[in-house]
């Protein structure tokens, strides 16, 4: 089922449970603003999800409602994960799905970080 990006935040979503420690994850980075962990169904040799610690449904919700320090902290965390994984020189891809057409499945903002191989053109047609 895909997410309505305009809906209210539901704290029973799977990433909220991961943040509360109710469901395990393979954490690779954590700071005050963000948690990064490996995707359970990787689509590239390296596939990491970076999520903010606050309750935001999507990039739309986050960019509209988060305060500047929260936005800065999250974006810096995403960059830090890319550097930590040694992916800046070979390159990597970030992707955030927002709502139905983008096929967002989890209703807590997450940025996908893909790397570890040549990733090909941006979208399959």
Using DSSP, state whether 69 is helix, strand or coil.
Answer: helix
Alpha-carbon gap, residue 73 to 66, rounded angstroms: 11
Shortest distance, position 30 Cβ to ligand 5GP, whole Å: 14
Q: Report long-range pairs for 98-103 (Cβ below 8 Å, ≥24 apart).
A: 98/5, 98/58, 98/59, 98/60, 99/2, 99/3, 99/4, 99/5, 99/6, 99/58, 99/60, 100/2, 100/3, 100/4, 100/5, 103/2
Shortest distance, position 71 Cβ to ligand 5GP, whole Å: 19
- Residues pairing with 49 in the sheet: 37, 112
Residues that bind ligand 5GP (CB under 6 A): 14, 23, 25, 37, 39-41, 49, 97, 103-106
Active-site residues, by number, are 110
Shortest distance, position 69 Cβ to ligand 5GP, whole Å: 25
């Amino acid at each position: 089922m895909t997410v309505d990006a305009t809906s209210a935040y539901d704290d029973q979503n799977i990433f909220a449970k991961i943040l509360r420690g109710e469901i395990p994850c393979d954490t690779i980075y954590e700071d005050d603003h963000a948690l990064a962990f490996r995707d359970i169904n990787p689509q590239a040799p390296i596939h990491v999800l970076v999520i903010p610690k606050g309750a935001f449904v999507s990039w739309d919700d986050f960019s509209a409602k988060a305060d500047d320090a929260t936005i800065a902290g999250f974006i810096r965390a995403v960059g830090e994960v890319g550097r930590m994984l040694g992916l800046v020189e070979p390159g990597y891809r970030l992707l955030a799905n927002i709502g139905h057409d983008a096929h967002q499945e989890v209703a807590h903002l997450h940025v996908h970080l893909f790397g570890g191989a040549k990733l090909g053109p941006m979208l399959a047609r």
